[in-house]
């Protein structure tokens, strides 16, 4: 299989970091466009640059919007990822620098330079992508695929608005723009994430067998593992890594359903929910290929190699 060609929109973030390690190990990365989300934009850009330094690559990093499109976000995810988004380890200032081009403009330019070639992987709030779509509605026609980590397709979300998942709940208007604009995309939701965690002992074994990437990830994942253990999340759960696995190799999907999915923009308790028309009652085009299960062993193999475990 030829290497996937990826354009990654992300808000690093611990599980974003694992996804980017996977992308680096298994694919070519045209660029990292950076969103605010897990923590503020200053931290997410810096974290992306820290990863670029770690990997010794020249992948360009583009800073995006510092806020959601319309309403201020009601929460971030610093409790899970640490105040700096990377477990509050205190990494030195990165050597790499962000490019001056805005993320939305970089998304448009890179897809114009390579029409039909790039798989767009969205691992954070969809603010940059929505802005790009408003500037150029032809964008969907220029990407090979879109894979989104977001949503909770039966309402088992992970935010204060209970049915909403974080990436969608952070910027529901942006998600609405994206979900309305693309005629087809893969959706990897929070509920699938919880079904595809890794046992702690197994993950520790991979970290011990890996190289400097594993040593780095072992540091930043500590806070998130503690948070998960205190919140009934079993083992290591990594939403963005699961989405990245689907982006890298769609054949790992063993069960999926294609349905119309819309975003709730109001709702006293439900703003940001992904509303799935499971029974096809509304007659709306079914645009979201909802990933329900993947081959866990193949997913694990991708993660292990990305951490440098060559056994």
Q: How far is the CB of 293 from ligand BDR (least distance, A)?
A: 18
> Residue 228 interacts with ligand BDR (CB under 6 A)?
no
DSSP string covering 192-251, please?
HHHHT-B-HHHHHHHHHHS-HHHHHHHHHTHHHHHHHHHTT--SB--HHHHHHHHHH-GG
> Residue 13 interacts with ligand BDR (CB under 6 A)?
yes
Among candidates 128, 36, 31, which has minimal Cα distance to 76?
36
Range in contact with Ca ion (rule: CB under 5 A) among 8-16, 78-86, 88-96, 190-198:
8-16
Q: Report residue 12 as tokens.
A: 């690093």
Q: Which does 166 bind (CB under 5 to 8 A by kind): ligand BDR, Ca ion, none?
A: ligand BDR
Q: Which does 165 bind (CB under 5 to 8 A by kind): ligand BDR, Ca ion, none?
A: ligand BDR
Among candidates 127, 122, 199, 193, which has minimal Cα distance to 156?
193
Q: Of residues 173-192, which lie at the interface with ligand BDR (CB under 6 A)?
A: 190
Match 């208007």 to its residue by tokens.
173
Q: Which does 77 bind (CB under 5 to 8 A by kind): Ca ion, ligand BDR, none?
A: ligand BDR
Closest residue to ligand BDR using C-beta atoms:
166
Q: Which of 6, 8, 9, 15 binds ligand BDR (CB under 6 A)?
A: 15
> Residue 124 interacts with Ca ion (CB under 5 A)?
yes
> Residue 82 interacts with Ca ion (CB under 5 A)?
no
The Cα–Cα gap between 273 and 255 comes to 22
Q: How far is the CB of 285 from Ca ion (least distance, A)?
A: 27
Q: Of residues 66-85, which lie at the interface with ligand BDR (CB under 6 A)?
A: 77, 80
Q: How far is the CB of 158 from ligand BDR (least distance, A)?
A: 5
CB distance 173 to 68 below 8 Å: yes
Count of residues engaged in binding Ca ion, rule: CB under 5 A: 6
> Residue 223 interacts with ligand BDR (CB under 6 A)?
no
Q: Of residues 229-288, which lie at the interface with ligand BDR (CB under 6 A)?
A: 239-240
> Residue 171 interacts with Ca ion (CB under 5 A)?
no
> Residue 158 interacts with ligand BDR (CB under 6 A)?
yes
The Cα–Cα gap between 88 and 81 comes to 8
Q: Which does 31 bind (CB under 5 to 8 A by kind): Ca ion, ligand BDR, none?
A: none
The Cα-based distances of 201 to 63, 78, 208, 235 in angstroms read: 36, 25, 11, 8
Q: Report residue 153 as tokens.
A: 């397709």
Q: Of residues 230-259, which lie at the interface with Ca ion (CB under 5 A)?
A: 240
Q: Report residue 2 as tokens.
A: 């030829």
What's the per-residue H, E or C state across 70-120?
CCCCCCCCHHHHCCCCCCCCCCCCCCCCCECCCHHHHHHHHHHHCCCCCEE
HSE, CB side, 13 Å, CA atoms: give it for residue 104: 18
Q: Report residue 70 as tokens.
A: 């319309």
The Cα–Cα gap between 119 and 30 comes to 10
Q: Of residues 96-125, which lie at the interface with ligand BDR (CB under 6 A)?
A: 123-124
Count of residues engaged in binding ligand BDR, rule: CB under 6 A: 16
Range in contact with ligand BDR (rule: CB under 6 A) among 164-172, 256-264, 269-277, 280-288:
164-172
Q: Report residue 301 as tokens.
A: 């193999």
> Residue 166 interacts with ligand BDR (CB under 6 A)?
yes
* Binding region for ligand BDR (CB under 6 A): 13, 15-16, 38, 77, 80, 123-124, 149, 158, 165-167, 190, 239-240
* Binding region for Ca ion (CB under 5 A): 11, 13, 16, 123-124, 240
């Amino acid at each position: 299989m030829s290497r996937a060609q990826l354009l990654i929109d992300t808000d690093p973030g611990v599980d974003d970091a694992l996804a980017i390690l996977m992308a680096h190990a298994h694919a070519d990365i045209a660029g990292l466009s950076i969103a605010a989300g897990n923590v503020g934009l200053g931290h997410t850009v810096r974290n992306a640059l820290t990863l670029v330094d770690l990997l010794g690559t020249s992948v360009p990093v583009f800073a995006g919007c510092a806020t959601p499109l319309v309403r201020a976000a009601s929460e971030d995810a610093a409790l899970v990822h640490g105040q700096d988004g990377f477990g509050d380890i205190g990494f030195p200032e990165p050597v790499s620098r962000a490019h001056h081009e805005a993320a939305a403009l970089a998304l448009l330019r890179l897809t114009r330079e390579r029409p039909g070639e790039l798989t767009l992987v969205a691992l954070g709030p969809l603010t940059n992508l929505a802005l790009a779509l408003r500037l150029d509605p032809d964008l969907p026609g220029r990407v090979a695929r879109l894979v989104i980590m977001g949503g909770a397709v039966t309402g088992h979300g992970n935010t204060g608005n209970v049915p909403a998942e974080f990436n969608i709940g952070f910027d529901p208007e942006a998600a609405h723009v994206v979900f309305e604009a693309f005629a087809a995309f893969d959706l990897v939701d929070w509920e699938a994430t919880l079904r595809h965690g890794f046992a702690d002992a197994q993950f520790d074994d991979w970290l011990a067998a890996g190289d400097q990437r594993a040593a780095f990830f072992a540091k930043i994942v500590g806070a998130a593992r503690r948070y998960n253990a205190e919140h009934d999340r079993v083992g290591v759960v990594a939403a963005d890594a699961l989405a990245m696995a689907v982006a890298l190799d769609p054949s790992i999907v063993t069960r999926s359903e294609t349905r119309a999915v819309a975003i709730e923009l109001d709702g006293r308790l439900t703003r940001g929910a992904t509303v799935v028309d499971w029974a096809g009652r509304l007659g709306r085009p079914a645009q979201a290929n909802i990933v329900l299960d993947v081959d866990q062993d193949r997913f694990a193999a991708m993660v292990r190699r990305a951490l440098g475990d060559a056994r």
